[in-house]
Amino acid sequence: MTFREDITANPKAEAMSEELIAVFEQVRDPEIELDIYNLGLIYEVTVDEAGHCRVLMTFTDRNCGCEDTLPAELADKLQHVPGITSSKIEVTWTPVWKMTRISRLGRITLGISPR
């Protein structure tokens, strides 16, 4: 399994994509009831040779109530991935999240047209 086309990843992160995607799918946006991977909140993932994982992500809205808790939950879950020694979750608002980032599976789950 590899990352979605709209996620930038370095080779080490790509090599760990199956494990990382599994973690991303465990972290859910509590307001939308969908995981951050299928919701399209992940923009970039890098893992360096020392095992430091950096995730660049966004939220659906600047007023998201989980802006503090969701990155902390993700960082906590990443520490259990073999090969990850530390992590840093960065939030960006550029580019602005759009509904087109929701995956086909996410659209079906939310009852939105899968096209």
CATH number of the 8-104 domain: 3.30.300.130
Strand 42-47 and strand 8-9: pairing? parallel
7-57 tens-digit pLDDT: 999 999 999 999 999 999 999 998 888 999 999 999 999 999 999 999 999
**pLDDT at position 31, please?**
87
CA 1 to chain centre: 15
Task: Please give the backbone phi and psi of residue 63, each rounded to the nearest 5 degrees, phi first.
Answer: -95, 20
The residues with which 28 forms a beta bridge, in sequence order, are 35
74-92 tens-digit pLDDT: 999 999 999 999 999 999 9
Global pTM? 0.93
**pLDDT at position 64, please?**
78
Tokens matching residue 63: 């007023």
**pLDDT at position 10, please?**
98
**pLDDT at position 37, please?**
98
Which residues neighbour 31 within 8 Å (Cβ) at sequence distance 6 or greater?
A: 60, 64, 65, 66
